[in-house]
Chains A and B, each alone.
Chain A
Amino acid sequence: MDGITGVLPFPASGTRPQAKTRVDHRNSEEAALVRRIQARDEFAFREIVERYQSKVFSIIFGILRNHNDAEDIAQQVFSKVYFSIGNFDFRSSLLTWIYKITVNECYDYLRKKRVRKLVYESDFSEEDALRMENSDTATDQHTPVDTALAQRDLILKLLEKISEEDRTLILLKEVEGHSVEELSRMTRMNENTIKVKLFRARQKLLKAAQRLNRSGPTQV
């Protein structure tokens, strides 16, 4: 007699392959939180701010490399989230939506303040320069700070030339490190569509670099 184990066998050992399910952004826990914010529930809004403030801040800081500017824009991002949450249609994840707002705010800031020039001027503090020199993102440890700055300036300029959607996708893939599968879940587009969009966005960046090269020498 095997007892209960004969009647109810234990589940097979090893990991069960996860079925690929499309996330239903309308019925998630986060969607409930969004609906509460849309109903002007301040506690729900506070929860969203506390959940994403670090992520938003690090995205902005990665682009602008200035703590004060990052703080200012991060506040603006969440202010925009508060006023625009009524337009959120659950077609993507909330993080994807907030990410798009964040990147757009950064680019609005860059356009208004012409920070690309200010990067070479006094706004870039010694602390920021030291942080950049010691940064792990520099693959070549002999890359001087001014070359790294020029390269960062170049890529920001190129990213400005492509559409908002392409820019968000490229940044989510390369800066945030999401896989194609994760992007598919976040954006509710299938994986082939994501791959095609990424490929086209990369081609547009290359074309933008070529146009920039024709208009003047670029140091990369």
Chain B
Amino acid sequence: MHQPVREELEDYLAGGTPPSNQFSQHLNTCAECAAEVGVLREQVRLVRALRSDEGVEPAPGFYARVLNRIEQHVQPSIWSLLRDPSLGRRIAVASAALAFVVSAYIVSTEPFRMTPSASSTVAIQQLSRQDTPATVAQDRDVVLASLASFREN
């Protein structure tokens, strides 16, 4: 398309201001530009057929429906998941069960400590340092003494 036509093409296709003499004369003398302008006018007609009719509106309550659509797309956060009744309950029960199991394990594996009182500890240590083998009676006394003075921690 030649320059005299290109310059005024949009104004011509818009149909507002009449084309200049230069434009009209060029179209009269240049078959190529005249053909191309003709095709473009038809193209414009087809595109303008996409114009909507007057008075086309969405049904009442459109904004509420838009909000619904938005809410459907909102990604759930971890807190909203916990607030969900069914899922939240399951997570709570699972957490409680896990806590119970862990506590039971810790309690069962912790060693049972016995701390006898200080005086009986000394007596037991003295007895154990003796070179002479303890008589059965002495052994019995040691055991009785330790049992009598036993204090659980």
Do these two chains really belong together in a complex? Answer: yes
Binding site for B on A (CB under 8 A): 46, 49-50, 53-54, 57-59, 61-63, 67, 70-71, 74-76, 78-79, 82-83, 131, 135-139, 148, 151-152, 154-156, 159, 170-171, 173-175, 179-180, 195, 198-199, 202, 205-206, 209, 220
Q: In the complex, are the beta carbons of A202 and B43 less than 8 A apart?
A: yes
Q: Does B9 contact A (CB under 8 A)?
A: yes
Residues of A within 8 A of B36 (CB): 206
Q: In the complex, are the beta carbons of B66 and A75 less than 8 A apart?
A: yes
Q: Give the 4 A-B residue pairs with the shortest CB-CB distance, closest first.
A: A62-B52, A58-B52, A155-B46, A174-B47
B49-87 residues at the A interface, CB under 8 angstroms:
49-53, 56-59, 62-63, 65-66, 69-70, 73
Q: In the complex, are the beta carbons of A151 and B58 less than 8 A apart?
A: no
Q: In the complex, are the beta carbons of A206 and B39 less than 8 A apart?
A: yes
How far, in angstroms, from A151 to B46 measured CA to CA in the complex?
7
Q: In the complex, are the beta carbons of B48 and A137 less than 8 A apart?
A: yes
**A175-B51 contact, Cβ under 8 Å, with A54-B57, A205-B43:** yes
Residues of B within 8 A of A152 (CB): 46, 49-50
Partner of A195, one of B10, B59, B62, B65: B10
Q: In the complex, are the beta carbons of B63 and A58 less than 8 A apart?
A: no
Partner of B63, one of A49, A148, A205: A49
